[in-house]
Structure formats: structure tokens, C-alpha cells
Structure 1
Amino acid sequence: MMHCLRAIYFIVLVMFNIVETKGLLANGNSNNSDPIHGSSGHNVDTTDIMQMLLNQTAELENLKQQAENDRSTMTKQLENDRSTIQSLQNRVFFLEAELSKLNSSKPTQEMSTYLMSMNKLIQNVATNEENDRNLTQRVDSLVKHFDDLNVQVRYTSLSLLDVHSSTEQLNSSIIQLLEERINGVHDHIANVSTRIGFTASVTSPSSSWSSGTLVFPKVITNVGNGYNPSDGVFTAPRAGVYVFFVNVQSYASQGIYVDMELNGVTKVRAMAFGSGNDYYNAGPNLAVLSLQTGDRVWVKHHSGSGYYYDGPITTFSGFLI
């Protein structure tokens, strides 16, 4: 359409130029070698006019060719449109025929009911699909939740295993410690029950004692009750190795000798000797003896006389090792 308008425009322009050219030629000089003078005093060259006409003629030819091409294209487009219209008409005829068949086979009310039922069914299907999607999402959420719970249970199980292992180790340590403590208590009880030891002292000085067994009536310690303060004799409650110690303190400047006896046999002797200005000397001695149950140990006079007392100075001791 635009090409046609341009062609018409150029045709009018060419006609206008031709009319103007004729007027110039009619009013100008006829000398071919001189410029053409118009009535308005303008100079017109015939060569330029001819060239302009040729250019416009060529332009008209181009426009004509374009118009022919446009006409051919529009013709083809028109044929295609006609074919499309014919196809649509055939489709409409087919649909009208189908509609007539439907109208003839079912009443309109029944068709409406059927269509409504189908619409409801389609809506129900769509609703069910939406419900299925929602249910699937909920199931997925529950599955994820269960997965999280499984992970938590796994971690909790590992923690419980660690706690159980630590508890077992702690119980083992506690049991071992308790066993050691119980064994220690048993050993202590056994030691207490088997411990034997004593210490005894005289209760007053004597300047005249000179024979027999030296009795130490004051009992300071008597574990196992092996020492008898009445006669000054220790009797071994059980067999073992014993340590015995005796100290006799001389009376003033007197001298005194005592023996430690085991079943009537002298084992060691202690002496406290004084003379002149030498007063109250000590006579200690110690013996380690192996005894059998029932063996007896005591301190007896050997020579000299007297012993001194100023608290527990003159003493007799012994214990099982």
C-alpha cells in the first residue's frame, strides 16, 4: 500500500515537472546552443531537464516493479487467506454436523446434566490432585522429620553407649577400689586380731629388791593380753618373732643387774651401775626372740639390789613383728 502511494506521488510530481517544463520551453528562446530563458527570468538547460526526466522515468519503473511485486505478494496472501477461510468453513460445517448428531441422540437437558457431571468430575479430579499434592508434601515433611528423629536417636544411642561404657569403667574402678578397701579392712582386722604387744612399769621404787622375778604391775599397753601384771610373765598367744625391751633404773648409787629369760633360759642382760657421786643410772637392753605359742618371757634378778621409780622409768615391753 505504501509503494502504491509513493508511485502516485511520483507520477504527480513528474506530471507537474512536465507541465512546468513545457511552460518554460514555450516562453523561452529557441536557440539550441543558448540557455533557455523563461518569462520569470530563470535559465533552464534542456540537458538537465532530460536527465531529470530519465531519472524520474527510472524511478517510475522501479516503483512499477515494486507495485507488481506487492500485487503478487498480496495475491498469494489473499489465496492463503481464502484457503484458511475455506478450511474454517469446513470445520464449522463439521462441528455443526456433530452438534446435530448430539442434539438428535440426547435431549438438551440430559446433555447439560451430562456436561455438569463431567465438570464436577473434572473439578473432583483437580481437587483430588491438589489433595494428593498436599498429602505428598505432608508425607515428605513427615519423612524428613522421621529422618531427623533417626539421626537424633542415632546420636542419642552413641551417647548412651559412651555413658554405658563410662559407667562400666566407673563401676569396674569402684568395684576394684571397694575390693581393695575391703581387703585392706580384712587385713586390718586380721592384723588387729593377730597384733600382740605390751608395755608395763613398776609403780614404786625399791632399795632392797634383790631376788626373784621383777614384776611390773602397772600395764600401759597389753594388746592380745599376753602379759600378766600379777606375776610379770609374758606368755606368747601365737608363734612368731617378738621384740622385747627392758630398762632398769638404779636406785641412787646402787648397782643392779637383771636377765631377760625365755622359758628359764637367759637371753640378754641389762645393767645399771652407780658408785660414789654417780646416781640413778639406766640399764636398757633389747632382744629379738622367736617364740612358739605358750612360750614365756620375764625379767629376773641377777645381782645387785634396788630399782628406782619416778614415773614409768623401769619398764618391760614386747611386741610381735
Structure 2
Amino acid sequence: MRVVCILVIFLSFSDAVSITSFLTDGENKTSTSLESKKLECSDLGILRQMINQETVIRLTLVKNVHALINDFNLMKQSLASSEATVTELQRTIEVLNLTVNSLQQTNRKLQYNSRISEAKTKELETKLQTVNDNVNIIQEDSDKKRQEFFNKTNSVLDDIKIEVRYLSVTLLDFKECSDSQAEIRRTFTEILNKTVAKHETLLKRSAYEQLKLSSAVALLDAAYRNLSKSNCDTINHHAFTAGISSDNSGWRGDTLMFPVVIYSEGTGYNSSTGIFTAPTSGTYVFYVSVQSAYQKFIRLNIVLNESTKVQVMTWYNSGSSVEIHQTGTNLVILPLRTGDRVWVKRSVDSIGYHSNINLATTFSGFKLY
């Protein structure tokens, strides 16, 4: 910028000199030199003004450059913060993916258990229908037998009436014969006694059949209740046992996971996280057995929703002269609500654990009632 201003000044000065020389003659040389000095002074003033303006412009540019540098630094900080946020979001997405996979596994287990429950329910409905059919058949048989008994009783009563009439006629006919009256009375009494005995036998048989029917109905009702109770107990039963198949003498993690599932009924235990989530409310029993690493000690806590309930400990303080793996166990009974979580957590000052393919370290739990 400075070079351009100087060139402009020199060009204007040379043009002024040539024009002055062309318009004047030799007699005006003195006046021309004076005018030239005045022009030089005015050009120097203009040059100073331009230099001052250039200085102002330069200072303004310097300020703008500093402002741009500050904005650039702020943009770098914002970009670093954005990258950290993206990294955290990626970790969150990975955790969510693990959670989704766990939920999908749980959903598949629930669907499988639901299909099993539906099959058992259909089987129970079929058995109940069979029981109802048997009850209806027994009821029909009882009604038929009762009707037959009533018919026989009415027939016997009709026979008795006929015999009584016959005896009455006979008595009228043989009224005059006093010798035969005693025999007629005995005959009438015998017939009447036989008829009454026969009637009492039929009544007793009917009462016996009725008792048998009542007993059969009671047995069917008890069988139905037992089937219903068995189905409910099967649906509400939850139990698991899991273990560890490898040794880790330098383990310093937080949650001790038991990935090898030995037995699992119902839902609740997640082998990928080592956490048991209560599917229903009730009283549960949990048991932990752990072996310490070689010449080390370990303390584990059975935790309910981040709250320590009991501790398993194996302590070693024999130096390097004893080769031993110690075993620690503990059991706890806990009242759980639906959604409560239970797991095994390492204490701060413990190191490592011992296990093998025979699963020397295990974690178990089941619903008591």
C-alpha cells in the first residue's frame, strides 16, 4: 500500500512539472520553481495523511486478525468438546445395544415360557373338560339310579296296597272263621315285614350310592384344585445356579460375573451381566461360594440395589510357606419386589479368585415363596 501511494505521488508530481513547463516560457522559470515547491509541500501533506490512514488501517487489521485467532481457538475448543460428546454418545449407544440384546434374550425366554404356559393351560383345560364330562356322566347315572329307585319304591307300594286290599277282602270273607284269623294276621304281618325290610334295603342302597357319588365329586374337585395349584406354582417358580470355569488371580473388577449357567428355571438371572432381576415379588434365597486365588484373600458382598447385605470372605496371612486355596460361603434370605436387582460385588481390598472347569466358584438363588 505504501509503494502504491508513493508511485501515485510521484506520477502526479511529474505530470504537474511537465504541464507547468509546457504552459510557461523561459521568463517564468522563477515563478515555476516557487509553484513547484508549493506543490511538493502539498504532496508531502497528502503523503502524511495517507501514511496515517495506512497506520490506522493496519491497526484495525491487526485487531481483526487477533479477533479471528480468538474465534479460531474458540472453534477448536468447541470442536474438541463436540468430539468428546460424540465419543460419550457412542459409548452410550454401545451400552444401549448391550441392553437391547439382553432385553431381546429376556423377551425370547419370556415368549418360550409363555408358549409353555399356554400349552400347560390348554392341557389343564382339556383335563378340566374331561373332569366336567365325567361329573356330568356320574350325575346322569345318579339321576337314573335315583329315578329307578323311586320307580321301584312306587311299584312296591302299589304291590303293598294291592296285597292289603286282597288281605282285607280275605279277612272279610273269612271273618266268620275265628280259627283262621290268627293265621291271616300272621301272614299279613309277615308280608308287611318283608315289604318294609325290602324297602329299607333299597333306601340303604340308595344312600350308599349317594355317598359314593358325593365322594367321587369331592375327589374330582380336589384333583382340579391340585392341578390349578400345581400350574400356579410352576409359573411362579424361579431358580438358578451359575459358576465360573476359569481362574483369574489378578481380578480387580467391580461385579463378579458367573457366565456358565448350570441350572435355570423361570426368568431373572442374566449370565452376561451376573445380575439377578426379580420377575415377581416374594422371598428369595441367595448363596455364594468362592475360592481365593493362590496365597491371596478375597471379600465379596451380596448386594441388593447397591446396598450390601452379607459378605463372603477368605483370609490368608501365612506368608509364602503355605500353598492353599481357601473357600468362603454365605447365604442370605431377602424380600424382593418386582424389578429389584441382586449381584455379587468385590470389596475394595480383595484381589483375584480361583475356579476351574468343575466350577469351584458359584452363585445360586431361588424363590422361596
1:316 is matched with which residue? Answer: 363
| Alignment partner of 1:299 is 2:338 | no
Instruction: State the distance in 2 between where 1:148 and 1:205 align.
Output: 98
SS in 1 for 2:245: coil
2:330 to 282, 285, 288: 285
SS in 2 for 1:304: coil
Structure 1 residues 278 and 175, CA gap change in structure 2 (3 angstroms) = farther
- Whichever residue aligns with residue 334 of structure 2, its letter is L
* Range with bigger deviation, 208-217 or 289-298: 208-217
Shift of 1:208: 2.3
Shift of 1:154: 4.7
- Asked whether the 8 Å contact 2:293–2:325 carries over to 1, the reply is yes
Instruction: State the distance in 2 between where 1:209 and 1:304 align.
Output: 6
- Whichever residue aligns with residue 231 of structure 1, its letter is T
Instruction: State the distance in 1 between where 2:280 and 2:227 align.
Output: 22
2:266 to 213, 218, 224: 224
Instruction: State the distance in 2 between where 1:206 and 1:156 align.
Output: 89
TM-score computed with the length of structure 1 as normaliser: 0.50
Superposed counterparts of 1:86-165, under 5 Å:
154-165=196-207
Any gaps of 5 or more consecutive residues in structure 1? 1-143
**Percent identity for Structure 1 against Structure 2:** 37
Instruction: State the distance in 2 between where 1:193 and 1:320 align.
Output: 12
Instruction: State the distance in 2 between where 1:218 and 1:266 align.
Output: 24
2:285 to 243, 246, 260: 243
2:41 is matched with which residue? Answer: none
- Whichever residue aligns with residue 310 of structure 2, its letter is V
Structure 1 residues 152 and 203, CA gap change in structure 2 (3 angstroms) = farther
Any gaps of 5 or more consecutive residues in structure 2? 1-185
TM-score computed with the length of structure 2 as normaliser: 0.44
1:206 is matched with which residue? Answer: 248
- Asked whether the 8 Å contact 1:249–1:309 carries over to 2, the reply is no
Instruction: State the distance in 2 between where 1:190 and 1:259 align.
Output: 33
1:183 is matched with which residue? Answer: 225
**1:135-178 superposed Cα distances (whole Å, 9 cap, x missing partner):** xxxxxxxxx99998887665443323212211221222222232
Instruction: State the distance in 2 between where 1:167 and 1:251 align.
Output: 74
- Asked whether the 8 Å contact 1:256–1:307 carries over to 2, the reply is no
Instruction: State the distance in 2 between where 1:223 and 1:315 align.
Output: 17
**1:91-135 superposed Cα distances (whole Å, 9 cap, x missing partner):** xxxxxxxxxxxxxxxxxxxxxxxxxxxxxxxxxxxxxxxxxxxxx
Structure 1 residues 153 and 203, CA gap change in structure 2 (3 angstroms) = farther
| Alignment partner of 1:262 is 2:309 | no
1:234 is matched with which residue? Answer: 276
SS in 2 for 1:251: coil
More strand by share: 1
1:215 is matched with which residue? Answer: 257
Query: Computing the radius of gyration over CA atoms, which structure comes out larger, 1 or 2?
Result: 1
Instruction: State the distance in 2 between where 1:210 and 1:241 align.
Output: 31
- Whichever residue aligns with residue 219 of structure 2, its letter is L
- Whichever residue aligns with residue 210 of structure 1, its letter is R
SS in 1 for 2:288: strand
**1:227-250 superposed Cα distances (whole Å, 9 cap, x missing partner):** 111111100011112111111111
